[in-house]
Structure 1
Amino acid sequence: MVHTRNRLPPTRYVRCGMVTVSDGKSRPSPMRLHLSMELLRLQREEPARNNPRAAQLSPTPLDSRERIVSVTRQKVGGLGLSIKGGAEHKLPILISRIFKDQAADQTGQLFVGDAIIKVNGEYITSCNHDDAVNILRNAGDLVMLTVKHYRAATPFLQKSLHREESPLDNESANQLRAEDGWRSRSPSSASAGSHSRPTSDSYSPNGSQRRWVDVITVPLMMAYVTRYIFGTDKLRPNSFEVRGLNGVSTGIIHCDDAAILSQWLKYITDNIVGLTNLQMKLYNRNFPATERIEYMGWVNEGILNNNQPWQNYKPRFLTLKGTDVLLFDSPPLNIMDWLKCKLVFKVYQTMFRVIKDSENVDERQHCFLIQTSGHESRYLSVETRQELLRIENAWHCSVCAAVMKLGSKTFTVTTCGKTAGLTLDWNMGFALYDTESKTYSWKYKFSQLKGSSDDGKCKLKLHFQDSETKMIETKELETSNLQSLLFCMHAFLTAKVASVDPAFLSSKTP
């Protein structure tokens, strides 16, 4: 299991928390859960060195390339770091201390000895120390730091880990200036032995340094999140699991209580939804407006087991694209994958129905039914109420777009012993066309339909209100495609109701 020990910090892009991890059977191991916009990492702390003095030394990044790190300022402790150096010393602005559990430490991506090259995209390599302090202090709540690690800075910075002020010896300073071709852009010739002051973001003089090593990395793009024991309807108490497209799983993540569980699920699913929506936009650039994607996301399909209530669930990737409903075994990763889907249904001939809690077949929550003419119904579930609402809203949008693209649909029917064609037309409404006389026997607007009834086999009654007399007129029809006709009627009526909202129509404009 993965066990959360502390509540999540109020960080927008990077969130961390101490956890314990297992596969559900073995003894849990302590790790840190590190969430960024695109990745979810499980990290372990690097073991301390045997040498007591070495154990106090600062960790270093794996390479010295430039890195961009997002830091969210905290109300207490600010950015959680101190700096030394500056152009007056012919030195870069160096991170001299990172305070435990403060903002910089929580990123897991900043180190003592990192030189700050840019703040929010603006170079500060020519700034003196005081100017750099002011820039960092006034950089806002979300600060993007471009940093690069300098190995020669580490020795003299380590000497001052437990002292606010420490002079820079000439030997270390000279090594630093020579390393990686560093050259100060400032003409200042101030003494390299001058003191530099910590920023106002200093917090704890006793802060210690830690290094976290990635153990598991799960990409969040179209990742799969579940609270259930995989493939069943059994919820893990206050637990969840994240599986990536690369087949990597976090294992089981267990939280202290439902509130913390809800936080983690929201943060992770928000990032997944954001990335998925971005991918949808990229895909839609390659599709015409009438084939645009309205929804993509993971659902779970209940699989019948010897005619017993559903006990097995299979992950499916549901998409609503143009006039189609598609169910993939795995997400489409390129344009060609969209052509390989084996389960494709027309959205205007498919009914979507949210299952009431009292109608659930087992312990799965947030369930819905997809019924398609000529096919068995599919019983599906999602992890959260919010996701169910997203699908329901996207379904209505998809139905409206599909019906407007379709324009009209005609079904062969018989009435009074004669063969005729019942047309559903987006602009005209209902119209019965007599194939013998080649004329319309009657026409009604969609708004004139006041009810309908059927025998579940082939007979259908439509009850219309005459616009002048206000009397109800009943039209009796027979068709061999009753379910298909009923589903298509529902789609046209749903689209008409939705189109009454001008905001909805404007959102459909490509």
Structure 2
Amino acid sequence: MKVFQIFHGLALLSDNKGSGFPVRLELTRDLLNIQVPIALASFTNTPLLSTDRCVIVKRHPDGGLGFSVKGGESGACKVPVMISKVAETETGTSSDAECLTSFQEPLFLAYTDGPLFVGDVILEVNDTNVEDKTHDEVVQLLKECDQEVKLKVKFQSGMTHLLHRTTSRRRIENNSERSTDVSESELSLLPSISSYDKSTLPKGWSPFMSLPLPMAYITRYLWGTDKLRSNGFEVRTADGTSSGIIYCEDIKIIEHWVHYITSHITALNNQSIKMSNKMLHPDELIVYLGWVCERLNEEQFDTTDFLKTWEPYFLILKGTCAWFFDTPPLSDEDFKNSLMTLKIYETRFKDIKASDRRDKRKHSFMIETASGERHYLSVESSEILQQIRRAWNRCTYYAVTKMRNNMNINCFVQKRTFACVKDERPSGLVIDFLQGIGLYDIPSKVLRTEIGSYISERSMVKYTRAGK
């Protein structure tokens, strides 16, 4: 039995509209659990972090407010004033928010519309608009506040890249450049956090969403496009429920999460295959199931617009057929509602070379049918592509073997003819399980080529293992 590991990590969950909030990911055997800070749990059913919020902070007797700020207007460079540090309740220290995954449990004694987070943009201080004020003006305004400070804030996940502790050169709209110093304010952090009663502060994580992994779909692409997210991914369950966009600190963390989640999905799908095959006839066994994407509007593959050009389908290789669905089938009756069904022995699996790709999706292949249809498909990784290639070849072998075995029952199926074109002439590819392979020229009614090699089980196994 496969041993499933449990993984944890911090991330930022976005609603795909630019806003987001810190979350904790928990990957179990068959679930991806998303948890939110308890301080935020009661607000997760409202668009908390995509709207303006009012946060009331009480000043410590030593004079600190428990947070630091960066930014402020400076001539032609307009950088919003943002929360760059929030005091940590556990260690009594603070740390820079240099990545999207940073989350500190904030130290404040009251709030009305939610807690204060790293990355919040300050819009007002005690009902005074600060959007056009300089950094020093905002700092001075905060210092002059009484014991209770009312902040109007809004979380802006797209602004967190400004929180790095560096002096950067930012390009201005008129294409000129200037050096802009967005140094931290000198607002002091609380020097003695341990003197507060931590029991009054919200701690821990609360369940927000649980996503079943069997037959789920994980992708790093923007939905329906070939645009790859550099630091995010999305998980969709079998019923179409989306996790939202999960952002992580760097590409290595992204790759680890995608790998672990994909491995769990594959293992669970393989278990489903084994359980289903116990109740199926040997000729109807399931060889593969999983998600693929088909490229739409092939005549527009040279365009650079942002239109949807890819559609996800659930692929099942079962018996001698390939089945395509918009959602995973749950019963035999659902197979009657498949979007497309292809006979494996009437198809050709073709790998797409890098020079022949139609867009930026790397792991692509094509299925060509006897009727001339071409289906340009893509998957998320080279490992999945290899799995589908092996499964397709296995099904081809099973399909041809089944036709050969039927010869002993019905003498009329010892020979099969498939339509094809040879030298721009309509022809028929003849497969005779006793005589061999031949090519029949339809206009002249002449057997142009005959290959006497008998299609044996050993040769088909060799063909399958070669991956041709």
Please report the TM-score for the alignment, with normalisation by the length of structure 2.
0.54
Q: Does 1:424 align with 2:421?
A: no
Unaligned runs of 5+ in 2: 42-89, 92-200, 405-413, 420-426, 441-446
Indicate how the Cα distance of structure 1 residues 238 and 446 shifts in structure 2: closer, same or farther if over 3 A, else same.
farther
Among 276, 282, 295, which residue is 1:283 paired with?
276
Percent identity over paired residues = 36
Letter in 2 for 1:343: M
* DSSP 3-state at the match of 1:246: coil
Indicate how the Cα distance of structure 1 residues 209 and 27 shifts in structure 2: closer, same or farther if over 3 A, else same.
closer
Q: Does 1:410 align with 2:419?
A: no
Q: Does 1:269 align with 2:262?
A: yes
* DSSP 3-state at the match of 2:225: coil
Contact in 2 for aligned 1:238/1:261 (Cα 8 Å) = yes
Q: Which has the larger radius of gyration?
A: 1
Give matches, 1:41-60, under 5 Å: 41-47=33-39
Indicate how the Cα distance of structure 1 residues 32 and 426 shifts in structure 2: closer, same or farther if over 3 A, else same.
farther
Q: Does 1:295 align with 2:292?
A: no
Contact in 1 for aligned 2:39/2:202 (Cα 8 Å) = no
Among 339, 342, 354, which residue is 1:342 paired with?
339
Partner deviation per Cα, 1:395-445 (whole Å, 9 max, x = no partner): 1111111110011442289xxxxxx99741345422689xxxxxx999643
Shift of 1:357: 1.3
The residue number in structure 2 matching 1:237 is: 230
Alpha-carbon distance in 2 for matches of 1:498, 1:389? 19
Partner deviation per Cα, 1:263-298 (whole Å, 9 max, x = no partner): 111110111011111111222223211111111110
The residue number in structure 1 matching 2:453 is: 446
Shift of 1:243: 0.5
Indicate how the Cα distance of structure 1 residues 230 and 432 shifts in structure 2: closer, same or farther if over 3 A, else same.
closer
Please give the root-mean-square deviation of Cα atoms over the aligned residues, in Å.
3.6
Name the count of aligned residue pairs.
283
The residue number in structure 1 matching 2:373 is: 376
Indicate how the Cα distance of structure 1 residues 215 and 16 shifts in structure 2: closer, same or farther if over 3 A, else same.
same
The residue number in structure 2 matching 1:455 is: none
Contact in 1 for aligned 2:301/2:359 (Cα 8 Å) = no
Alpha-carbon distance in 2 for matches of 1:431, 1:303? 36
Contact in 1 for aligned 2:301/2:358 (Cα 8 Å) = no
* DSSP 3-state at the match of 1:251: strand
Unaligned runs of 5+ in 1: 1-10, 50-98, 101-207, 414-419, 434-439, 448-491, 505-510
Letter in 1 for 2:240: G
* DSSP 3-state at the match of 1:252: strand
Shift of 1:342: 3.4
Contact in 2 for aligned 1:396/1:498 (Cα 8 Å) = no
Give matches, 1:354-365, under 5 Å: 354-365=351-362
Give matches, 1:105-504, under 5 Å: 211-304=204-297, 307-309=300-302, 312-407=309-404, 408-411=414-417, 423-426=430-433, 428-430=435-437, 444-446=451-453, 497-500=459-462
The residue number in structure 2 matching 1:33 is: 25
Contact in 2 for aligned 1:231/1:312 (Cα 8 Å) = yes
Indicate how the Cα distance of structure 1 residues 412 and 331 shifts in structure 2: closer, same or farther if over 3 A, else same.
closer
Letter in 2 for 1:240: F
Partner deviation per Cα, 1:312-370 (whole Å, 9 max, x = no partner): 11001111111111111111111221232131111111011110111111111100001
